[in-house]
Structure 1
Amino acid sequence: MASIFSFFTGSGFLDLGFEKAGFKTAAVNEYHAPFLNAYKHSRKVMSLPEPMFGHYHCSIEEFINDGKYVDSLKEHLAQLRTDGEMVGFIGGPPCPDFSVGGKNKGQEGENGRLSKTYIDTIIQHRPDFFLFENVKGLWRTKRHREFYEQLKSELRDAGYILTDHLINCIQYGAPQDRDRILMFGIKKEYMSSILDDTSCKNMLLPEALFSWESQMQYDRTEALKQPSWPTTEPFNEGSLTSKPSNILEALTIEYWFKKNDVLNHPNADAFFTPKSEKFKTVDEGDTGKKSFKRLHRWRYSPTAAYGNNEVHLHPYKARRLSAAEALAIQSLPAEFELPATMTLSDKFKTIGNGVPYLAALGVAKTIYEFIDKIK
């Protein structure tokens, strides 16, 4: 029905959601070799087919202007269209330059410029549709918002009708407070006979046709702010506690640890050993510090960001989280694993960079149903 080209693939969390929603993967692009190797490893373990046109280990800049792979991408698009396929680009450019807790350099930062490069890739190659994913700072911070609106203007001028939405991944069932801005665009030619004159003129996709919330399982406020969530309690290594009443159990750390059988997962022993004993004084559920946040077993996790000295501690074990536990917090299927040869730093970086799988799946299903509707 539709094929996707994935940019900034990482280890493929976003791609996996699209694959499970019914899209075919035409090709993937990732600059960091260990992440691309992890992508290949996980697909092999999960018995998923390899991308039709393979893997591109390069910068996205190689696909625009006079880049090395411009002609290859053109040929791939032409072949798929000859076969009657709709073609989409998906990607979440590296985002620390737009993150309030990150570098905050914006479009001038090394990573910030890649957002513009991704948009340029869309405009040059003109896929039928695309998805752009980034941090909420691009949406909510004034100077970054101006850059974001500029990107949208360029896409409209190139003939794309747009819709965007600020989502929290917990709304799709991932046990994590993680806000993201998503933008979807489709060529105007697909919509001119469907939309009214006002929508076409404004290049806006109405919610009646494309509902970002169609696959959401939870209301944002209900999931994050419900009064029944426990707060903090003294850390007690190896303790057992009963599930509190009136909580959303499927959004808790403990639920996902058991669901993914994290202690028997191939990545169960992949964790950093803290150098100081001070971390044992952090209460269970105390996530208010810049670093050394101890998760609460009966609550959701803060954003799974494992860089910039942010350390997440196990609720009831005297250690940091394992890669298996971090993957569970990212709502990955239990059979997803990272290669044993991957360094700990790369494991946690790729996990923290990824889109939670259930959010990816929900968004992909929304797009799939929309495409099916207009066709």
Structure 2
Amino acid sequence: MARSVLSFFTGAGLLDIGFRSANFDVVWHNEINPDFIKAFMYGHEKLYGLEKKELNLFEGSIESVRKSVISEKIGTGIIQSSEFGIIGGPPCPDFSNAGRNLGQAGENGKLTGIFVDLINDFLPKFFTLENVKGLIQKSNHRNYLAELLYKLSKEYCFDVRVLNSLEFGIPQDRERLFVVGFRKSHIFDTLGYASLIEIEKSNLHLINELKKKKIKNLNSFNWFDWPNNPSFQHAREKFSWPQTGPYGDDPMMPITIPSDLFVETKVFNASIENLANQQDVFKAYSDKFMTIEEGDISGKSFKRLHRWRFSPTAAYGNNEVHLHPYKPRRLSVREVMRIQSVPDEFELPENMSLSSKFKTISNGVPVKLATEIALSISRFLD
């Protein structure tokens, strides 16, 4: 039987797709951004054949959500019995190294705290929180994370880890912070009293270390069985990646690197040409499209992918999108979807601007990584 999940900060629903792929039933969603809502509705109809009324989407601020509002929509006593999970990735610009670093004081930053308060109010059996790595990198953000974890520690045992999508066979160097938590009653029933006490001690130790200094090895606090793929572990450092080369050249494919990590293999293969959103691309207007070397990602903009390497983090704003390895143009929307491991059946509507399409897709969790996390949670719940 599929486990029920409530999704907050749904966006286009990429995290949701991952949980659905792991046999969770995402019974309710919440989003406020009109473009994200449009993408979510259209994409899920194409992918799953679900209509709006079947998706139970609450359009509005997370601050407006009440248990009664959700109960009316999903029924069956799920909320009352706490037999459900909560997932969400609160907006992250205020914690991002590329942002203004306003932290909890920012309009987006405060939403992470509201999300934690909501978890404590709803008391789901388990939760997943996703955010940028910056939340644990800078001292002021670490202090805030420690405060949030302390709030959760009364009812939950939690685990924290930074995961890179590259280490799961996704050709993208994208590090994100994940927090998973389970009700202490479930930990007691599953692992026993002695394990519960040890995990509680570890959690409090983690909170104290976050307050004091930068943690060099966050993994030393882990007790949850996080997903792991030995074939791709430490891929960024382990393999000898090809360097930059002249635009228009034909570099040889390395034979010592797993082909799943090449954008040429996973993104630009011939099957992409007839897919929806492949023609959604900004028109070329600059000589730079034919002068930037293949693999040159040193600039703040006009980064060109290398066909036999992975993509830098897909985090696009305004008109800035990475360049195709060997064509004089930016990437297409469909190519970005593949970099985010979005199923080919998922589509975005024509009546969205190009900038909105790129921002919407790059805003989500890579689907394949979301699936791996969901499967690990499922195994633990079992």
**Same-fold call, TM cutoff 0.5:** yes
Q: Offset at 1:301?
A: 0.4
The answer to whether the 8 A contact 1:173-1:250 is kept is yes
Match in the other structure for 1:178: 174
Q: How does 1:213-292 map to 2 (within 5 A)?
A: 213-214=227-228, 216=229, 218-221=231-234, 223-236=235-248, 240-258=250-268, 261-292=271-302
Instruction: Return the alpha-carbon distance in structure 2 between the equivalents of residues 177 and 296 of structure 1.
Output: 13
* Cα displacement string for residues 124-175 of structure 1 (whole angstroms, at most 9, x for unaligned residues): 1111110000000001111101000100000112x11111111111111111
User: Separation in 1 of the partners of 2:149 and 2:180?
Assistant: 10
Measure, in 1, the Cα distance between the counterparts of 2:6 and 2:39: 18
Q: Is the 8 A contact 2:11 2:364 kept in 1?
A: yes
Question: Quick check: 1:352 aligned with 2:353?
Answer: no
AA aligned opposite 1:228: S
Identity %: 41
User: What is the deviation of 1:340?
Assistant: 1.7
Unmatched 5+ stretches in structure 1: 64-68
Deviation per CA, 1:341-373: give whole Å up to 9, x if none.
22111100111101011111111111111111x
Unpaired segments of 5 or more residues in structure 2? Answer: 205-219
Mapped partners of 2:270, 2:141: distance in 1: 38
Deviation at 1:336, TM superposition (A): 1.7
Deviations 1:253-284 (A, max 9, x none): 11112458222211011111243223322100
Are residues 1:145 and 2:146 paired?
no
CA separation of 1:227 and 1:184: change in aligned 2, threshold 3 A: closer
After superposition, the Cα gap between the structure-2 partners of 1:143 and 1:163, relative to the gap in structure 1 and judged at 3 Å, is same
Give the counterpart letter for 2:201 in structure 1. N
Give, in whole Å, the separation in 1 of the partners of 2:269 and 2:245.
Answer: 24
Report the equivalent of 1:202: 201
CA distance in 2, matches of 1:177, 1:227: 14
Paired position in structure 2 for 1:19: 20
Task: Classify the secondary structure of the residue corresponding to 1:26.
Answer: strand
Whole-angstrom distance in 2 between the partners of 1:191 and 1:371: 9
User: How far 1:91 moved relative to its partner?
Assistant: 0.3
Distance in 2 separating the partners of 1:314 and 1:284: 9
Alpha carbons 1:35, 1:350 under 8 Å: kept: yes
Does the 8 A contact of 1:261 with 1:334 survive in 2?
no
- Cα distance in 1 between the residues matched to 2:222 and 2:97: 33
**Cα RMSD for the two superposed structures:** 2.4
Partner SS, residue 378 of structure 2: helix
CA contact (8 A) 2:35 2:360 kept: no
The answer as to 2:125 corresponding to 1:111 is no
- 1:212 maps to a residue whose letter is W
Deviates more, 1:204-213 or 1:144-153: 204-213
Deviates more, 1:81-90 or 1:97-106: 81-90
**Contact 2:91–2:108 under 8 Å retained in 1:** yes
| CA offsets 1:285-318 (integer angstroms, 9 cap, x no match) | 0011111100001100000011166431010110
Counterpart in 1 of 2:376? Answer: 366
2:31·2:58 contact (CA, 8 Å) conserved in 1?
Answer: yes
Q: 1:341 to 1:135 in 2, by over 3 A?
A: same
Corresponding residue of 2:121: 124
Counterpart amino acid of residue 237 in structure 2: K
Structure 2 counterpart of 1:342, one-letter code: M
Partner of 1:95: 92
Residue 52 (structure 1) shift = 5.5
Is 1:322 the counterpart of 2:322 in the alignment? no
TM-score of the pair, normalised by structure 1: 0.89
CA distance in 2, matches of 1:207, 1:154: 18
**Does the Cα contact within 8 Å between 1:173 and 1:217 map onto a contact in 2?**
no
How many residues are treated as equivalent by the alignment? 362
Distance 1:302 1:26 in 2: 33
Instruction: Give, in angstroms, the shift of residue 43 of structure 1.
Output: 1.6
Query: Would you say the 8 A contact 2:202–2:221 is kept in 1?
Result: no
The verdict on how the C-alpha distance between 1:120 and 1:82 changes in structure 2, with shifts beyond 3 A counting, is closer
Superposed, 1:2-17 pairs within 5 Å as 2-17=3-18
| SS of the residue 2:267 aligns to | helix
Which residue is equivalent to 1:56? 58
